[in-house]
Amino acid sequence: AGATAQSAASATADSRTLRRTGSLSLAGESGSLRDCIQKTLNEWSSQISPDLVREFPDVLECTVSHAVEKINPDEREEMKVSAKLFIVGSNSSSSTRNAIDMACSVLGVAQLDSVIIASPPIEDGVNLSLEHLQPYWEELENLVQSKKIVAIGTSDLDKTQLEQLYQWAQVKPNSNQVNLASCCVMPPDLTAFAKQFDIQLLTHNDPKELLSEASFQEALQESIPDIQAHEWVPLWLLRYSVIVKSRGIIKSKGYILQAKRRGS
């Protein structure tokens, strides 16, 4: 037996940026993100005029209104709203703020309880360094200071990387996710450091590439044939979950995605 979670897909486009919000039901984690995006776009495109896609206003909102459940303000204290942000394409750290602002708007909340940022993409053969993380972490710190986020964390940092970030950061990471595929047992040095500085170690099984450019373009082309999908690239993907604190169950979960036209 398994619970069915509500999953939403959103994206953004500026004639040049694509914005959509929609959803489908997924049993646990079954079903792919690509299918989620495609089904959301299929439902959205069936409800709008073809002229809207061809004419391209400045921002194209792809919305399926029944798909996303806003949080009732009276129930907000009973819910924990968490997110993990994946930077997909070459992009500035401003994507971080865009993603958090959009998540808050979609869910109808003023603040997210926790945000974990996945390691940003780097060139093959290059090791992740503090320099790669700094611009994104600084933006997360600004969001904590402006009370848009309560706590921030990292993903897939080893002991050295986590220590460097911790010593440099003004707002310290309160968690670090470790990929189950990379280690069956938590590295002792990482465990010791996390315990010393009260950093929670979590596990995840996300693939290294959650959404490829090609996969996104295929879903886009199949859903909206007139859109010239090869011109579009995903910038970031945010996965959120809303958990009922007292019962520890997922009330809803979903994705928000932003894509942009090349050269814009």
Q: What is the 3-state secondary structure (H, E, C) of 144-188?
A: HHCCCEEEEEEECCCHHHHHHHHHHCCCCCCEEEEECCCCCCCCH
Give the whole-angstrom CA distance, residue 208 versus residue 27.
Answer: 22
Of residues 100 and 60, the one with the higher pLDDT is 100
List the domain boundaries for the chain: 1-118+208-264, 121-205
User: Residue 181: which pLDDT band, with cuts at 50, 70 and 90?
Assistant: confident
Question: How large is the average pLDDT for residues 250-263?
Answer: 85
Angle at 61 between CA 55 and CA 65, to 5 degrees: 135
User: Residue 39: which pLDDT band, with cuts at 50, 70 and 90?
Assistant: confident
Question: How large is the average pLDDT for residues 68-95?
Answer: 88
Question: How large is the average pLDDT for residues 80-91?
Answer: 87
The per-residue pLDDT for 186 is 85
pLDDT > 70 in the chain, percent: 79
Q: What is the pTM of this model?
A: 0.84
The per-residue pLDDT for 134 is 94
Backbone angles phi, psi at 261, to 5 degrees: -75, 140
Q: pLDDT tens-digit profile of 48-71?
A: 776 666 665 555 667 666 777 899
The per-residue pLDDT for 53 is 60
The per-residue pLDDT for 232 is 85
Q: pLDDT tens-digit profile of 233-256?
A: 888 999 999 999 999 999 998 888
